[in-house]
């Protein structure tokens, strides 16, 4: 089979790595790919915005691609799966009106609310009733409060405002200074819940939903969850703090009812349904849905999937998932992200990365590339999140030792990474 993977991050490197292990995979292409992906797939320089869909379709037709796997949300929300399906090209990822579950937080909220799925209390305001949003904050007694821009905002559209001043500022950013363009035409003002978060990703074929083992990601740049929000500085799976009965509540109160809600609304959802769930006093609330694999959750989930990924992706795309559950490796898996100098405010490119040879061909320590590229035979930095270093072992203590030993052998100018990834999980096992 010929497979095309769309995207250029650590998530896509992990997808290509897992697909490359399938005996069914004859040839893998990545668009545009990155420095690490280029070692196991042929990288093709085509852009992935809406204007480039025709070029992508032509490529898939010319190369007789059997399956296209779409990594990032942007092309899905813009309808790339619809374009492939119209040409009878098999694609893994939801069509546009299904991807709206991530593309519009207001759409997702209204759907979940209609079907009684637990979400934080909240109110929707539009740009036209800006004044009402400001009055609402003026009257509100309870802070912090969460302000969410409706549309895609590269992970920057959610503000936790600790007081009226910050909330007013966040509303103005959407409605007055237009920070998020049309994505800020509507906002949700939502109650702030405390607890811990888990990511539950599921395979969906339009009828059946098969959840994967849970993962947890780390959003802040510094240890102890301090500093600015990032795309994700690390992750681990499984999640020992998540009790079995709470996991079952997530499935029975959120994930499966969402499947029913989508079916009742005649939305055929094929691809990944990624639930960001907050657990507050053992009660789960859905914070957000994403229409794709998580990054960096994928990097700790797929290495634990004790099955060939390719048939699962094919079956989802064809709407005929044949299995009822998935087999998981019992090992613990951790991913630590190495970011470039200045991240997340800015990023640094062109710095030579050394030490990667130590892990070439290793399945013990796997280095997934995110922001890298080849330059004159060297791998150099090319973005904010540069690498995701992943390992597996029987306990979180062992796996953390392996990862941090590996981190000390990889070097580039200004490299920064968190030292506390999966530390709580390690302590929970002692």
Least Å from the CB of residue 298 to ligand GLY: 8
Q: By CB under 6 A, is residue 371 in contact with ligand GLY?
A: no
Kindly tell me which of 380 and 422 has the beta carbon lying closer to ligand GLY: 422
Q: How far is the CB of 322 from ligand GLY (least distance, A)?
A: 28
Q: Residue 360 CB, nearest distance to ligand GLY (Å)?
A: 27
**Judged by CB under 6 A, which of 232, 271, 284, 384 binds ligand GLY?**
232
- Does the footprint of ligand GLY cover residue 9 (CB under 6 A)? no
Minimum Å gap between C-beta 233 and ligand GLY is 10
Q: Which of 185, 213, 217, 351 binds ligand GLY (CB under 6 A)?
A: 217
The span from the CA of 256 to the CA of 250, in Å, is 9
Q: Is the Cβ of residue 232 or residue 384 nearer to ligand GLY in the bound state? A: 232
Instruction: Please name the helix (run of DSSP H) or strand (run of DSSP E) that holds residue 56, with its range, or none.
Output: helix 53-62
Q: Least Å distance between CB 420 and ligand GLY?
A: 17
- Pick from 85, 86, 115: nearest CA to 319: 85
What 3-state class would DSSP assign to 345?
coil
Q: How far is the CB of 295 from ligand GLY (least distance, A)?
A: 4
Count the site residues for ligand GLY by CB under 6 A: 6
Residue pointed to by tokens 């910050």:
166
Cis-peptide, bond into residue 296, ω within 30° of zero: yes
Shortest distance in whole angstroms from residue 289 CB to ligand GLY: 11
Cβ closer to ligand GLY: 17 or 125? Answer: 17
- Using rule CB under 6 A, residue 205 touches ligand GLY: no
Q: Is the separation of the CB atoms in 209 and 202 below 8 Å?
A: yes
Total length of the chain: 430
Residues 293-352 that bind ligand GLY (CB under 6 A): 294-295, 297
Beta strands at 216-222 and 226-237: parallel, antiparallel or unpaired: antiparallel
384 touches ligand GLY (CB under 6 A): no
Cα–Cα distance, 236 to 197 (Å, whole number): 12
Residue whose CB is less far from ligand GLY, 173 or 295? 295
Asked if 66 is part of the footprint of ligand GLY (rule: CB under 6 A), the reply reads no
Between 134 and 153, name the residue whose CB sits nearer to ligand GLY. 153
- Nearer Cβ to ligand GLY, position 56 or 198? 198
Rounded to a whole number of angstroms, the minimum distance from the CB of residue 248 to ligand GLY is 23
Phi-psi region of 291 (alpha: psi -120 to 50; beta: other; left: phi over 0): alpha
Are the beta carbons of 391 and 403 closer than 8 angstroms? Answer: yes
Q: Is 6 within 8 Å of 70 (Cβ atoms)?
A: yes
How many CA within 13 A on the CB side of residue 54? Answer: 1
Nearer to ligand GLY, 24 or 158 (CB): 158
Considering only residues 275 to 304 of the shown chain, the ones binding ligand GLY according to CB under 6 A are: 290, 294-295, 297
Cβ pair 13, 370 in contact under 8 A = yes
Secondary structure (DSSP) of 137-162: HHH----SEEEEESS--TT--EEEES
Residue (206 or 294) nearer to ligand GLY, CB: 294
CB of 134 to ligand GLY, least distance (A): 29
Q: Outline where DSSP puts E strands in 59-195.
A: 67-70, 91-92, 122-126, 145-149, 158-161, 186-191
Ramachandran assignment for 52, one of left (phi > 0), alpha (psi -120 to 50 degrees), beta (any other): alpha
List contacts with ligand GLY (CB under 6 A).
Answer: 217, 232, 290, 294-295, 297
């Amino acid at each position: 089979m010929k497979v095309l993977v769309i995207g250029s991050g650590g998530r896509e490197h992990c997808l290509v790595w897992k697909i490359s292990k399938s005996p069914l995979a004859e040839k893998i292409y990545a668009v545009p790919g990155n420095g690490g992906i280029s070692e196991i797939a042929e990288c093709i320089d085509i852009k992935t915005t809406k204007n480039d869909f025709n070029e992508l379709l032509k490529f898939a037709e010319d190369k007789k691609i059997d399956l296209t796997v779409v990594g990032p949300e942007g092309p899905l929300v813009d309808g790339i799966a619809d374009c492939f399906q119209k040409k009878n090209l098999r694609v893994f990822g939801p069509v546009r009106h299904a991807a709206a579950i991530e593309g519009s937080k207001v759409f997702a909220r209204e759907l979940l609310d209609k079907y009684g799925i637990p979400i934080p209390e909240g109110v929707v305001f539009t740009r036209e009733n800006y004044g009402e949003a400001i009055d609402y904050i003026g009257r509100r007694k309870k802070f912090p409060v969460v302000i969410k821009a409706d549309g895609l905002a590269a992970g920057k559209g959610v503000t936790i405002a600790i007081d009226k001043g910050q909330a007013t500022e966040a509303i103005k950013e959407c409605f007055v200074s237009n920070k998020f363009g049309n994505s800020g035409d509507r906002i949700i003002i939502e109650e702030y819940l405390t607890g811990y978060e888990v990511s539950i990703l599921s395979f969906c074929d339009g009828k059946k939903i098969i959840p994967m083992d849970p993962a947890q990601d780390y959003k802040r740049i510094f240890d102890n969850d301090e500093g600015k929000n990032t795309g994700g500085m690390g992750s681990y799976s499984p999640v020992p703090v998540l009790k079995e009965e709470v996991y079952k509540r997530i499935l029975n109160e959120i994930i499966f009812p969402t499947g029913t809600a989508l079916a009742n609304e005649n939305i055929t959802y094929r691809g990944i349904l990624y639930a960001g769930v907050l657990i507050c006093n053992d009660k789960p609330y859905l914070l957000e849905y994403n229409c794709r694999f998580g990054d960096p959750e994928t990097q700790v989930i797929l290495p634990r999937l004790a099955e060939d990924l390719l048939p699962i992706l094919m079956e989802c795309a064809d709407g005929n998932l044949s299995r009822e559950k998935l087999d998981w490796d019992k090992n613990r898996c951790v991913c630590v992200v190495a970011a470039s100098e200045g991240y997340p405010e800015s990023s640094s490119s062109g710095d030579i990365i050394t030490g990667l040879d130590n892990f070439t061909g290793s399945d013990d320590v796997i280095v997934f590339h995110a922001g890298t590229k080849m330059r004159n035979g060297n791998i150099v930095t090319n973005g904010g999140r540069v690498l995701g270093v992943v390992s597996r072992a029987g306990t979180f203590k062992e796996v953390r030792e392996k990862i941090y030993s590996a981190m000390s052998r990889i070097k580039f100018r200004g490299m920064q990474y968190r030292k506390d990834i999966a530390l709580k999980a390690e302590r929970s096992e002692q």
